[in-house]
């Protein structure tokens, strides 16, 4: 029988470490995972999404949060998402008001270094959240948006492609044109 890994942190140790850190780190089951910086395209796509969703939230009891807000994902995990949105009152973990407990929509802009994680382990954690209704993966290398929507106990995938298509985020009643997501984004033509 092996002894426990002494390098594993408890959730409270992670939060103490993270609140003092200059760089963001995710936390999955005791392991601290450093977040890498984003590319120019990544930042532009996130900005386009935030701007469009935010403009459609005016006058509604809905809010959209950028990448800097930590999200608690179950008992032993904390992540950062590119865009998080919800309707209703935000539920925060503690008096620090820096960790969101509920969310309706999570959007991740994929990068080469995080794509497998965003599609795999991260989404597996998100699927367990009762409040999550929609999970969106946006490619930064080509026009491609994958929209997962919870339907009872199943997750339904639809691809939203082409510049004339529209991503409909039903849980927050938001319609985001794909052309807006990719506005001013230039792709490599290799």
What architecture (CATH level 2) is domain 37-181? Alpha-Beta Complex (3.90)
User: What does the pLDDT read at residue 77?
Assistant: 87
Beta bridge partners of 70: 80, 99
User: What does the pLDDT read at residue 3?
Assistant: 37
Could you identify the residue written with the tokens 């008096």? 95
Contact call for residues 138 and 45 (beta carbons, < 8 A): yes
For 24-50, the DSSP string reads -EEEETTEEEEPPPPPHHHHHHHHHHH
Q: 3-state DSSP call for residue 84?
A: strand
pLDDT string in tens for the chain (190-residue length): 333 455 788 988 999 998 898 888 888 888 888 887 678 899 999 999 999 999 999 999 999 988 778 888 877 788 888 999 999 898 888 888 888 888 899 999 998 888 998 999 889 888 888 899 999 999 999 999 999 999 988 999 999 988 799 999 999 999 999 999 999 999 876 6
| pTM for the full predicted model | 0.88
* Contacts for 170 with CB less than 8 Å, ≥ 6 apart: 133, 134, 149
Domain-by-domain residue ranges, the chain?
A: 37-181
């Amino acid at each position: 029988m092996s002894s426990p890994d002494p390098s594993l942190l408890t959730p409270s140790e992670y939060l103490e470490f993270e609140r003092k850190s200059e760089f963001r780190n995710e936390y999955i089951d005791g392991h601290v995972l450093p977040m890498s910086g984003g590319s120019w395209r990544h930042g532009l796509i996130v900005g386009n999404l935030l701007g469009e969703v935010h403009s459609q939230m005016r006058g509604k009891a809905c809010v959209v949060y950028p990448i800097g807000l930590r999200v608690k994902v179950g008992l032993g995990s904390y992540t950062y998402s590119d865009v998080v949105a919800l309707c209703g009152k935000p539920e925060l973990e503690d008096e620090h008001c820096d960790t969101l407990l509920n969310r309706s929509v999570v959007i991740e802009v994929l990068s080469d270094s995080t794509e497998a994680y965003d599609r795999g382990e991260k989404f597996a954690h998100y699927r367990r959240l009762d409040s999550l209704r929609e999970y969106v993966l946006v490619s930064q290398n080509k026009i491609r948006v994958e929209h997962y929507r919870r339907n009872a106990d199943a997750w339904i995938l639809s691809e939203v492609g082409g510049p004339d298509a529209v991503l409909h985020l039903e849980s927050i009643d938001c319609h985001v044109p794909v052309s807006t997501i990719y506005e001013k984004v230039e792709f490599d033509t290799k």
